[in-house]
Amino acid sequence: MATYPAPTEETQRRFKAEQAVKRKRREEYARLNEESALKCRLTEHEADEKYYKNSIAKKAESAEKLMEQIEAGTNQTGETVGRGQRRTVGFSHIGRGDFIMRIGNNSQGM
């Protein structure tokens, strides 16, 4: 069995100093990783929010155009439609505000 000499005070001090440096480095890396993850989540959230706002705005714009066509009595190609054809659209029983509100509520539920 081999015997090892006890570490000197200098060796112990050096070891403790190296461990302290390593611990500080690990803490710094952990902090940087946390910041990076937070930044990624924030960027992703902003992109999602922008996408949904644009999507809702496009649906509202589409609903506005459709309502205008219904009120004007034209179809999607701009041709004037007869009374019988207008009934097939199926929106004559609700007002413009109700229609837009329903479209808006529908798009938020997706």
In a domain, 17, yes or no: yes
Range(s) of the domain holding residue 92 = 9-108
Long-range pairs, 101-110, Cβ under 8 A, ≥24: 103/59, 103/60, 103/63, 104/56, 104/59, 104/60, 104/63, 107/55, 107/56, 107/59, 107/60, 108/56
In a domain, 3, yes or no: no
In a domain, 4, yes or no: no
- pTM for this entry: 0.44
In a domain, 2, yes or no: no
Q: Is the pLDDT of residue 45 over 70?
A: yes
In a domain, 54, yes or no: yes
Q: Is the pLDDT of residue 59 over 50?
A: yes
For residues 59-74, average pLDDT = 83
In a domain, 25, yes or no: yes
The answer to which of 24-33, 47-56, 63-72 has the lowest mean pLDDT is 63-72
In a domain, 13, yes or no: yes
Total tally of structural domains belonging to the chain? 1
In a domain, 1, yes or no: no
